[in-house]
């Protein structure tokens, strides 16, 4: 009897073992992700990570960090020197995003930096509005992605101008057609960004994209009114000022100090603007340009 049971178990066990191995293989096949799914998951994670870094988004993790700064530092009793600090904390408690407050506070600093670059350093650019708006767009997208978008839109604007130039259209319809061409080009870039390992482009919100697209008109005006060399120089100097301002705005220490000391910060920026407004000396680039004339004999 025992011998028959052993023989029976020996006959059954291999079949059971074979079925178990088959089941394991099926599970492994079902759980093994395809290469396309892996690539898609990686691109999705890249897009989500890039989106979280956008300080202009209301729900960005940066908002929680800024709220933490406000909680850590108590302003003390209300007085003339900390009334803005109390107002900011009250607004945040009522649901206002600290990101918005920091960006509004930092915008005068951006304008002051651009004015300083013009009057103290001698940099030229698209006035004060375009570099300031570009700085905010670069802050939202990141410097690398922002520069890529800028170059793409600059190229599309130049190409669209060449296409529409021979149609002899009036100004507004021509600009509308130019925007149509730029929109199609940007859409193509966004749709194909994931496939060329630039998932950050797909994570960019509509806000900076619209800014760059609307500034295409300024790019065209510079190309029409100036030589190619001059237009290129003005564009590069505009980018330098915008990138510098975006880097300063993105510094965690600057954001924290501005948020915790808004009164002093605004006074300093106003004083700096008054100083450069009354400055009548040579600019830094002019010292280089006229060094032979200014050199002491």
Q: Where are the domains of the chain?
A: 51-285
Residue 10 has a pLDDT of 44
DSSP 34: P
Residue 62 has a pLDDT of 67
Residue 258 has a pLDDT of 93
Burial category of 9 from C-beta neighbours within 10 Å (exposed 0-12, middle 13-18, buried 19 and up): exposed
Q: Answer whether residue 263 shows pLDDT above 90.
A: yes
Residue 268 has a pLDDT of 96
CB 78 within 8 A of CB 90: no
Which of the residue ranges 35-39, 117-121, 228-232, 260-264 has the most confident prediction, judged by mean pLDDT? 260-264
CB 219 within 8 A of CB 105: no
What confidence tier does 267 reach under pLDDT thresholds 50, 70, 90?
Answer: very high
Q: Which residue has the higher pLDDT, 16 or 225?
A: 225
Q: Which residue has the higher pLDDT, 197 or 150?
A: 150
What is the arithmetic mean of pLDDT over 114-141? Answer: 88
- What's the rounded Cα separation, in Å, for the pair 212 and 280? 34
What is the arithmetic mean of pLDDT over 244-255? Answer: 92
Q: Answer whether residue 272 shows pLDDT above 90.
A: yes
CB 88 within 8 A of CB 262: yes
What is the arithmetic mean of pLDDT over 86-104? Answer: 89
Model-level pTM?
A: 0.72
List, for residues 161-206, the tens digit of each pLDDT value.
Answer: 888 888 888 888 888 898 899 899 888 888 887 676 666 676 777 8
- What's the rounded Cα separation, in Å, for the pair 182 and 214? 10
What is the arithmetic mean of pLDDT over 255-270? Answer: 94
Q: Which residue has the higher pLDDT, 62 or 285?
A: 285
Name the helix (H) or strand (E) containing 190: helix 171-192
Residue 144 CB neighbour total at 10 angstroms:
11
């Amino acid at each position: 009897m025992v011998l028959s049971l052993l023989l029976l178990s020996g006959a059954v066990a291999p079949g059971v073992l074979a079925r178990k191995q088959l089941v394991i293989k099926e599970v492994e096949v079902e759980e093994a992700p395809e290469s396309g799914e892996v690539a898609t998951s990686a691109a999705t994670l890249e897009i989500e990570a890039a989106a979280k870094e956008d300080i202009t988004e209301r729900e960005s993790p940066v908002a929680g960090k800024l709220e933490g700064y406000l909680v850590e530092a108590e302003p003390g009793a209300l007085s003339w020197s900390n009334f803005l600090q109390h107002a900011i904390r009250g607004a945040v408690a009522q649901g206002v995003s600290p990101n918005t407050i920091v960006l509004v506070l930092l915008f005068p600093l951006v304008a002051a930096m651009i004015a300083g670059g013009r009057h103290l350093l001698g940099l030229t650019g698209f006035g004060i509005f375009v570099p300031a708006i570009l700085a905010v767009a670069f802050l939202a997208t990141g410097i690398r992605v922002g520069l890529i978008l800028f170059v793409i839109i600059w190229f599309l604007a130049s190409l669209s101008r060449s296409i529409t130039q021979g149609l002899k259209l009036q100004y507004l319809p021509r600009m509308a057609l130019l925007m149509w061409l730029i929109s199609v080009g940007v859409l193509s870039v966004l749709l194909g960004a994931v496939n060329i390992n630039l998932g950050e482009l797909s994570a960019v919100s509509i806000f900076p994209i619209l800014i760059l697209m609307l500034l295409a008109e300024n790019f065209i005006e510079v190309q029409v009114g100036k030589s190619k060399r001059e237009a290129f120089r003005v564009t590069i100097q505009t980018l330098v000022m915008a990138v510098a301002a975006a880097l300063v705005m993105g510094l965690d220490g600057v954001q924290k100090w501005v948020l915790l000391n808004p009164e002093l910060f605004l006074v300093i920026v106003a004083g700096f603007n008054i100083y450069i407004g009354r400055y009548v000396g040579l600019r830094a680039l002019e010292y280089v340009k006229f060094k032979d004339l200014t050199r002491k004999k």
